[in-house]
A and B are shown apart, each in its own frame.
Chain A
Amino acid sequence: MSDWLIYRTFLDLTVTGLALGAIYALVALGYTLVYGVLRLINFAHSEIFMVGTFATLITATNFIGIPLLEEGNYPYRTGFTLVAILLACIVGGMVVSGAGAVLLERVAYRPLRGSGEHVGAVVLAFTTAFTVSLVFSETTRTNVIIGLIGTAPIAVLYLRIFRRGRQAPRLAFLISAIGASTAIAEAVAIWSPRDREQYQTARVLEKKVLFEFLGTDVRIDYVLVVIGALLMMTALVLFVNRTRLGRGVRAVAQDVETAKILGVNVDFVILITFLLGGVMAGAAAMMFTLVYDQTRFNIGFLLGVKSFTAAVLGGIGNLRGALLGGFVLGLGENYGAAIFGGEWKDVIAFILLLVVLMFRPTGILGESLAKARV
């Protein structure tokens, strides 16, 4: 009897682990893509994910008008409405996260590559003026106005400095990323209506058991998340392998200089890479809110660290590696937590990484965004 119980628990853990792993995998794709092309840990990717969860929240509550989770009274929808709402939410998350990632690249990374341009200069100038105005004024509206007034002259100045065009050392990118990550998370914490508190998200999908598998209940949201992640993943691999732009991405991942000589628009390819990563993070964000029904300004950090771990585990720069790493990490964490206790969950994740890297120093599948087989 107890054997049977262990077996059932094991299956339960597998199901939840796969769902968690799918979210890790989607976020890990963003890390892996950017790393493959730029050799850069995009530390702010976790905040892109966080912004995505807020985007799905806003899409559902403000645009579609679904009331938030109330006590025992969920605003469940069914049929076509449900599908439409879920699609709208995922699209909302993808659009906002994608745009966020692109903006991040232009503001925090491109100037460091020595090819900063007007969008980055303008956003950076606005941010500067806005931040400085915080000294003088408490009201956000005044801050925004001062920020807007200051934008033009500061942007002109920034553009002139950008024109010097030199490549920064690698660590500078990392610190810029950390700065951007801090600023984004804090901005959400400060200027969202409920400050630093946790937000419940609208729960439109009734989480009923879809089917039983060997005596284990498989909930519908888990199934959706895993299938959704696999679909997104397939689309991404097809894009990178089959399209012209995808070929550009692979070319830049192989050798930036040669790609440039052969006529690849490197800056554009990098932009596309960030966009793809952002879109994946947006999808992951929607799935996260689907399963966990909540978000907060600081959920990004730990999830980002874990997802990056997943990317490294599978072999960073390798798309399939990210997927595999995500699932391995999700499952490993879940099993480990069941054996050693939930408080050791994160320790187990990192020890798993250590053990894998000891035997496979470049991850399970190795690094290979550059190679034709992704």
Chain B
Amino acid sequence: MSLSGTFKDLTSKPARAISGVGERIGEMPTVSRWSLIALFIVSMYLMPWWPEVPVLGWLVDTPGTSFEGVITDKVVIYVLVALGLNVVVGLAGLLDLGYVGFYAVGAYTVGVLSSQHANLPWLVCVPIAVLVSMAAGVILGTPTLRLRGDYLAIVTLGFGEIIRISANNAEWLGGSRGISKIAKPPNIGPLKFGILDAKPYFFLGLTFIIVVVFLLRRLENSRVGRAWNAVREDEDAAELMGVNTFKFKLWAFAIGAAIGGLAGTLYAGKVRFINPSNFPLQLSILFLAAVVLGGTGNMWGAILGGAVVAWMPERFRGFADKRVFVFGVALVLVMVFRPQGLIPRKIRKERWLVNWKPPESTPQSGEAEVGRG
């Protein structure tokens, strides 16, 4: 049944069009490919000026709030979080409903180290916070990754809630008042991180995203990525084939947590004041919605999903208090009509099957095709 399903998906028009873009870029000569990628990255760095472009500006601008603020405070952070959660949910296939916990761990580590109990600079806090979040991922993962599917979901959900309530009740972490006066990122040349100009934060966040995307791409195409694929598609079969499923699941958790923590440090450095109510359970669900909306398991999907989920409620401020309602309806509609997400994952199996020719007709080329797939 799933096989016929995948065939149908591949032949549906939008899916073909989008997967076509990736393929065409992949088939380009190296020079033009890289210049295209460079162009894309440059246009991303120019995002704060997008509202001034004629048609695009009307599309993306957020009436009522500053566009710069939206992309630095929300879009960049959501995209980073979605990338991290995509590792856990999309690549390794582990349903995590408490991802906000890691995000909070990252933010709180920066808070504690740079304001509450020490005076370390932001840049020193970041690697520590990432490591601490990673450790949190391992600590949560070790006892719980034996559980499967929805049991894991509810336990992770509990974890997110435990983190928030603990932060709320522990005076050591500032209690419900939270932590203020958190260190900001250091000035780099002309980039002054202050309250007047949001752009430097955006550039910093975008740089984080690019680095993370680069690392994740390497990871996805490595042995680890293939192991995640195997675990996601069939855990028992993967185990039988000699994949140490527990180890790779734990890795997925740890890496996902680290990226979540990184997003948290960025958030703490930007707003410079955090309290437990910044990390509600609903945020976890919003993050998950971002990943699935964009296309589970596809990095570009996660990026798009994160950006859309962060930006959409701001774009439609015209709806005032109705925007959350609109968001809910939109989620249902997208899932009903595009259940694979906005940019579905390309599954290698599909391409392999489509390109595959019976070996009787052309044995050599047929074999080559199989090998390539």
Task: State the A residues within 8 Å of B (CB).
Answer: 35, 39, 41, 107-108, 111-112, 116, 124, 127-128, 131, 134-135, 161, 164, 166-169, 171-176, 178-184, 186-187, 189-190, 301, 305, 308-309, 312, 316, 341, 343-344, 346-347, 349-351, 353-354, 357-358, 361-362
Chain B positions within 8 Å of A301 at CB level: 281-282
Q: Is the CB of B327 within 8 A of A182?
A: yes
User: What per-residue 1/0 map shows which CB atoms of B133-150 lie under 8 Å from chain A?
Assistant: 000000000011011001
Q: Is the CB of B158 within 8 A of A176?
A: no
Given contacts A134-B326, A166-B8, A361-B151, contact A174 B336 (CB under 8 A): no
With beta carbons under 8 angstroms apart, the residue of A169, A178, A349 that contacts B339 is: A169
With beta carbons under 8 angstroms apart, the residue of B8, B147, B169, B285 that contacts A178 is: B285
Extra pairs beyond A178-B289, A305-B157, A350-B161 (7, CB < 8 Å): A39-B150, A131-B330, A174-B292, A179-B289, A186-B325, A316-B150, A362-B151
Q: Is the CB of B336 within 8 A of A108?
A: yes
Name the CB-closest residue of A to B345.
A169
Q: How far is the CA of A358 from the CA of B147 in the complex (A)?
A: 8
Q: Is the CB of B339 within 8 A of A168?
A: yes
Chain B positions within 8 Å of A312 at CB level: 150-151, 154
Given contacts A35-B150, A350-B159, contact A172 B335 (CB under 8 A): yes
Q: How far is the CA of A288 from the CA of B292 in the complex (A)?
A: 34
Given contacts A134-B319, A350-B159, A350-B161, contact A179 B296 (CB under 8 A): no
Q: Is the CB of A171 within 8 A of B292?
A: yes
Q: Is the CB of B324 within 8 A of A116?
A: no
Q: Is the CB of A354 within 8 A of B296?
A: no
Interface positions, chain B 260-318, Cβ under 8 Å from A, are 281-282, 285, 288-289, 292-293, 296, 316, 318
A301 CB to nearest chain B CB (Å): 8
Q: How far is the CA of A108 from the CA of B328 in the complex (A)?
A: 11
Name the CB-closest residue of B to A355.
B143
Q: Is the CB of A112 within 8 A of B336?
A: yes
Q: Can you list 18 A-B contacts with CB-CB less than 8 angstroms, sorted by A residue number?
A: A35-B150, A107-B332, A108-B332, A108-B335, A111-B336, A112-B336, A128-B329, A168-B339, A171-B95, A175-B331, A178-B331, A179-B327, A179-B330, A182-B331, A186-B328, A351-B158, A357-B147, A361-B146
Given contacts A124-B333, A183-B325, contact A175 B165 (CB under 8 A): no
Q: Is the CB of A176 within 8 A of B150?
A: no
Given contacts A167-B5, A183-B328, A186-B322, contact A112 B159 (CB under 8 A): no
Q: How far is the CA of A29 from the CA of B175 in the complex (A)?
A: 36
Chain A positions within 8 Å of B89 at CB level: 171
Chain A positions within 8 Å of B318 at CB level: 135
Query: Is B168 interfacial (CB 8 A cutoff)?
Result: yes
Given contacts A135-B318, A178-B285, contact A358 B143 (CB under 8 A): yes
Q: How far is the CA of A168 from the CA of B154 in the complex (A)?
A: 22
Q: Is the CB of A41 within 8 A of B339?
A: no
Chain B positions within 8 Å of A164 at CB level: 8
Q: Is the CB of A179 within 8 A of B146?
A: no
Q: How far is the CA of A344 from the CA of B164 in the complex (A)?
A: 11
Given contacts A171-B95, A305-B281, contact A176 B326 (CB under 8 A): no
Name the CB-closest residue of A to B162.
A347
Number of interface residues of B (CB under 8 A): 52
Q: How far is the CA of A210 from the CA of B143 in the complex (A)?
A: 46
Q: Is the CB of B335 within 8 A of A168?
A: yes
Q: How far is the CA of A176 from the CA of B292 in the complex (A)?
A: 10
With beta carbons under 8 angstroms apart, the residue of A169, A172, A174, A186 that contacts B324 is: A186
Chain B positions within 8 Å of A346 at CB level: 161, 165
Q: Is the CB of B162 within 8 A of A343?
A: no
Q: How far is the CA of A316 from the CA of B147 in the complex (A)?
A: 13
Query: Is B166 interfacial (CB 8 A cutoff)?
Result: yes
A228 CB to nearest chain B CB (Å): 27
Q: How far is the CA of A344 from the CA of B167 in the complex (A)?
A: 11
Q: Is the CB of B162 within 8 A of A169?
A: no
A12 CB to nearest chain B CB (Å): 24
Given contacts A169-B339, A305-B281, A347-B166, contact A353 B329 (CB under 8 A): no
Given contacts A134-B319, A309-B154, contact A343 B335 (CB under 8 A): no
Q: How far is the CA of A175 from the CA of B309 in the complex (A)?
A: 13
Chain B positions within 8 Å of A116 at CB level: 336
Q: Is the CB of A176 within 8 A of B322?
A: no
Q: How far is the CA of A343 from the CA of B325 in the complex (A)?
A: 30
User: What per-residue 1/0 map shows which CB atoms of B83-102 lie under 8 Å from chain A?
Assistant: 00000010000010000000
Q: How far is the CA of A186 from the CA of B326 in the complex (A)?
A: 9
Given contacts A131-B329, A178-B331, contact A344 B169 (CB under 8 A): yes
Given contacts A112-B339, A169-B340, A362-B151, contact A181 B158 (CB under 8 A): no
The 5 closest A-B pairs by CB, nearest first: A179-B331, A350-B158, A168-B339, A183-B328, A182-B328
Find the residue from B144, B169, B325 having the highest chain A CB count within 10 A: B325
Q: How far is the CA of A111 from the CA of B337 in the complex (A)?
A: 8
Q: Is the CB of B319 within 8 A of A179?
A: no
Q: Is the CB of A357 within 8 A of B340?
A: no
Given contacts A135-B318, A175-B288, A344-B169, contact A353 B328 (CB under 8 A): no
B93 CB to nearest chain A CB (Å): 9
Name the CB-closest residue of B to A312.
B154
A48 CB to nearest chain B CB (Å): 15
Name the CB-closest residue of A to B176.
A343
Q: Is the CB of A41 within 8 A of B153?
A: yes
A150 CB to nearest chain B CB (Å): 13
Chain B positions within 8 Å of A174 at CB level: 95, 288, 292
Query: Is B1 interfacial (CB 8 A cutoff)?
Result: yes
Given contacts A169-B296, A175-B288, contact A343 B169 (CB under 8 A): yes
Chain B positions within 8 Å of A182 at CB level: 324-325, 327-328, 331
Q: How far is the CA of A349 from the CA of B154 in the complex (A)?
A: 12
A341 CB to nearest chain B CB (Å): 8
Q: How far is the CA of A168 from the CA of B292 in the complex (A)?
A: 12
Q: Is the CB of A175 within 8 A of B157?
A: no
Q: Is the CB of A112 within 8 A of B335?
A: yes
Q: Is the CB of A172 within 8 A of B158?
A: no
Q: How far is the CA of A167 from the CA of B240 in the complex (A)?
A: 28
Q: How far is the CA of A157 from the CA of B337 in the complex (A)?
A: 11
